[in-house]
Amino acid sequence: MTTMNDTRLGTQGPSVFPIALGCMGMGAGSWYGDSDEAESIATIHEAIERGVNVLDTGDFYSMGRNELLVGKAIRDRRDKVLLSVKFGALRGPDGAHLGYDARPAATKNALAHSLTRLGVDHIDIYRPARLDPNVPIEDTVGAIADLVKAGYVRHIALSEVGVETIRRAASVHPICDVQLEYALVSRSVEARILPVLHELGIAMTAYGVLSRGLLTGAKPTGGRDIRAHLPRFSADNAEKNDQLVDALARMAAKKGVSPAQLAIAWVRAKGVAQGVMILPTLGARTRRQLADTLSSLEVSLSQTEVAELEAAVPASQVAGTRYAAAGMATLDSER
């Protein structure tokens, strides 16, 4: 078992291992294409043995099948994990995205089904996947607060929301963390959001730390791979972004680490510099990928090295937005 000091997820949150396991890419129907369920479960078990205690999923991942997989994996390990669950995204039977529903009744209904699929009696960290533009955030957080009082939820969190929404939510109930995309080439949260998280004692759960594999040179594996539909992976943009990938590889080789290790270490170093606890959430789908991910904890960066890395891989030079226009329009964090 890896020995690492646990870190608190914000001033109001639980004690967590310094890296979380993102489960979105696991099992059948994943947005990155199908993966082997047995290997996914073995990866979750290995992560738990190595000390990882936050498992991140969503009730809409693989149309609920991801929660079923996670539930199966933790059946005899519930006391060793913290379940972080997103809700609110609506899906059609054909997999189409139909918007978001974070009304109080819908929130409580979503939780009831997540508890059933996961086979548990409570969720440790519960968050709306996006801001529902038709529902005041106070109403959504108030509904989750009712679930906290009833014992069905332990901590309330948010995802992809901006400064005003964070402040309004925190006025209703303590928020432990906000899930945001953060990577060398995705740094829009730095100017306004990170300072507010520092002020309010809220942590950040960082996803997309490797920019969905872009920073390590990964390419979409087919039409069912969500990356095939993301602007940064389109043919023209991918060719331009390869220059950033090559620059990161050179910097990693100079330090004697892998590009992934360096990119993860950068995120953790930025949290220290900004005074915000940042929990990188990495979507390892195999035990080999998990080992590579956890090895990043052995890499530390000085502020000089951070500055050199940012100069070599400038976020301003990345080609393409992180989502297509329709997806970007749902991000309160980008407003």
Q: What is the pLDDT of residue 219?
A: 81
Percent of the chain with pLDDT over 70: 96
The domain segmentation of the chain, as residue ranges, is: 7-224+267-297
Q: Which residue has the higher pLDDT, 156 or 29?
A: 156
Q: What is the pLDDT of residue 2?
A: 39
Q: Name the pLDDT band for 250 (thresholds 50, 70, 90).
A: very high
Q: Name the pLDDT band for 275 (thresholds 50, 70, 90).
A: very high
The tens digit of pLDDT for each residue in 166-222 reads 999 999 999 999 999 999 999 999 999 999 999 999 999 999 999 988 898 888 777
Give the residue numbers annotated as catalytic, written as ranges.
61
**Four-way CATH pick for 7-224+267-297: 3.40.50.80, 3.20.20.100, 1.10.357.10, 3.40.50.880:** 3.20.20.100
pLDDT mean over 51-72: 96
Average pLDDT, the chain: 93
The tens digit of pLDDT for each residue in 214-246 reads 898 888 777 677 788 888 998 889 889 999 999
pLDDT mean over 21-43: 86
Q: What is the pLDDT of residue 190?
A: 97
- Buried b / exposed e along 74-104 (16+ C-beta atoms within 10 A): beeeeeebbbbbbbbbebeeeeeeeebbbbb
